Amino acid sequence: MSEIKLQQIEELKAEAIANLESNDDELQIGACSQLSRFFIGFGGINPPSEGFISGIVPRLLEFLDRDDYPKLQLAATRAIAYISLESSDNIHINILIEQGAVPTVVSLLSSPTDEHHGELEDELNLHYEYYRYSLQVDDTEKRCAQWKTPVLISQSLSELKLLHALVVLGTIASVSAKYRDFVLSHGVLMPLLEQFNDKTNLTIMGQATETLSKLCLRKPQFEQVKSAILPLAHVIHTDDQIVLKHACEALFHLTCGEMDMKQAVIDAGAFPRLFELLLSVKKSLSSVVRRYRKSYILYVRIVDNIISYVDDTQIQAVIEAGIISPLLPLLQDADLFNAAAEVIYNVTTKGTNEQIRFLVHEGCIEPMCDLLVKPNEAHVIKIYLEGLENILKVGEAEKNQGNTEDVNVFAQMIVDARGLEKIKNVQTHDNSKIREQAEKILETYW
């Protein structure tokens, strides 16, 4: 960048600081907008110094208390949002925390609302400037623009302020577990969850669910986030794909945590909706257009998280919700079979004999056998072999009890599915453990 251009930037920064410190409301608004434009246009080229950010944040936070002047509140909140998004090595976020931004921004979630749409031309211009800019830089900066939508024109001043406040809190919480806990400790959940209602428009709801999903990252303690589980179980009934995606991300992160969290998701009644979502996946697999595939994987992963490291009670909840049946076709899908396989594997290793019999009667054997011959990673083949072995054990127990006329019915079903041939072929696998596992199965049951 030329020296002339750098000098112009410094002059703009000096002008913005002077206007920021003035007592003129309009100059203050202009300064906030000028700072936002600076971060949009030059933040990545000529990043502001730590001293510069430290100098402007206290004044911006003062403006957040101006309930009497919503336009100034909005302009200041927007500038703080850009500061958090453009943070390099989290330096800006550290400054925001040190200057007391979190409790102030949290208070905006409960600040007065209005029906006034105001003069939003500046907001829209900044939105499109940022969006255009984001397309010219790397993926990280692209992601920073994803929270914006082209429907800002329909938002009131208070809704736009809320939108930016949610961005700030979500960005800070996503940095680390320490920062997540810091945001949670300032009572963010209650006002955040108040946005989860039928009157909230989809733009705000999308950002609220995204912020909540970031608050659920890195396995928070159950007591910290338990109040969010029931609203999330309700929100996943939405037809809006963005809201649904973020809500499922939040549930996924929560079910990665402690057992109380998994049980709370079951108790909240999330399984019936997950069943519906999995059925929608099954239908869409035959579609030419396959959108939202990452969301599909999330649905399966949530189920897998819940039945991993648990007892047969949670597995029974999955079965009773009807989730097994729509999972089986996913074993044939290149993108989804890994996630579905983990669920099936967990049922065969942690389920009761009755639950494993149910799995077999639902038709799991053939797709499990088919996947032994695909060019899968060694660990995938290994879990399928182990799953089939567990099924064979149940069949053998049935035979020994005299219930099947001295025939291992499940072994015969594997033969009928051409699985015996495939298990024999696995004996030539490069992985010695897989070869040994296949040989053990063949020696024991054939």
Q: Would you state the pLDDT for residue 441?
A: 97
pLDDT at residue 269 in the model? 92
Q: What is the pLDDT of residue 327?
A: 87
The angle subtended at Cα 242 by Cα 247 and Cα 32, nearest 5°, is: 100
Boundary of a domain, candidates 195, 214, 233: 214
Query: Residue 93 to residues 61, 96, 378: CA-CA distances in angstroms?
Result: 14, 5, 43
State mean pLDDT over 322-342: 84
Residues 181 and 274 in one domain: no
**pLDDT at residue number 138:** 41
The model's pLDDT over 181-209, given as tens digits with 9 standing for 90+, comes to 999 999 999 999 999 998 899 989 999 99
Is residue 338 located within the same domain as residue 403? no
| Residue 227 sits in the same domain as residue 198 | no
Mark which of 214, 233, 265 sits at the end of a domain. 214
Residues 321 and 248 in one domain: yes
User: Each residue of 375-395: pLDDT tens digit?
Assistant: 667 888 999 999 999 999 999
Among 330, 358, 386, residue at a domain's last position: 358
Average pLDDT for 22-29? 96
Is the pLDDT at 322 greater than 80, yes or no? Answer: yes
CA distance linking residue 57 with residue 77, whole number of Å: 11
What was the pLDDT predicted at 122?
59
Q: What is the tens place of the pLDDT at every residue in 145-163?
A: 444 444 454 578 888 999 9
Helix/strand/coil (H/E/C) assignment for every residue in 355-424: HHHHHHHCCCHHHHHHCCCCCCCHHHHHHHHHHHHHHHHHHHHHHHCCCCCCCCHHHHHHHHCCHHHHHH
How many Å apart are CA 52 and CA 60, to the nearest integer?
Answer: 13
Same-domain status, 60 and 203: yes
Q: What is the pLDDT of residues 171-187, one digit of tens each?
A: 999 999 999 999 999 99
Shared domain check, 317 and 228: yes
Kindly report which listed range (206-210, 402-406, 412-416) carries the lowest average pLDDT score.
402-406
How many domains does the chain contain in total? 3
Read off the DSSP letter of residue 287.
S
- Asked if residue 305 and residue 295 are part of one domain, the reply reads yes
State residue 116's pLDDT score: 56
CATH number for the domain that contains residue 295: 1.25.10.10
- Which residues, in sequence order, are CB contacts of 305 under 8 Å at separation 6+? 252, 255, 256, 262
Mean model confidence pLDDT for the chain: 86
Pair (159, 222) in one structural domain: no
Is 151 in the same domain as 209?
yes
pTM attached to this predicted model: 0.85
Residue 414 lies in domain:
364-446
How far apart (Å, rounded) are the C-alpha atoms in residues 223 and 130?
Answer: 38
Q: What is the pLDDT of residue 125?
A: 57
Return d(Cα 256, Cα 327) in angstroms, integer.
20
User: Between 230 and 12, whose confidence is greater?
Assistant: 230
**Would you say 134 and 141 are in contact if contact means Cβ atoms under 8 Å apart?**
yes
Q: In sequence order, what are the residues at sequence separation of 6 or more whose Cβ sits closer than 8 angstroms to the Cβ of residue 245?
A: 292, 294, 295, 298
The SS3 of residue 100 is: coil
44 and 134 Cβ atoms separated by less than 8 Å: no
Mean pLDDT over residues 11-30, rounded?
94
Which among 94-103, 120-129, 155-164 has the top mean pLDDT? Answer: 94-103
Q: Are residues 402 and 434 in the same domain?
A: yes
Local confidence band at 358 (pLDDT 50, 70, 90 cut-offs)? very high
In angstroms, the CA 397 to CA 131 distance is: 63
Q: What is the pLDDT of residue 360?
A: 97
Length of the chain: 446
R_g of the chain computed on alpha carbons: 27
Q: Which residue has the tokens 């029931």?
A: 230
For 39-74, write each residue's pLDDT tens digit.
Answer: 877 655 677 889 999 999 999 999 999 999 999 999
On whether both 422 and 321 belong to a single domain, the answer is no
Q: Please tell me whether residues 117 and 135 are part of one structural domain.
A: yes
- pLDDT band of 33, cuts 50, 70, 90: very high
Q: Is the pLDDT of residue 439 over 60?
A: yes
Write the CB contacts of 354 (distance below 8 Å, at least 6 apart in sequence).
none
- Percent of the chain at pLDDT exceeding 70: 84
Q: Quick check: 96 pLDDT over 70?
A: yes
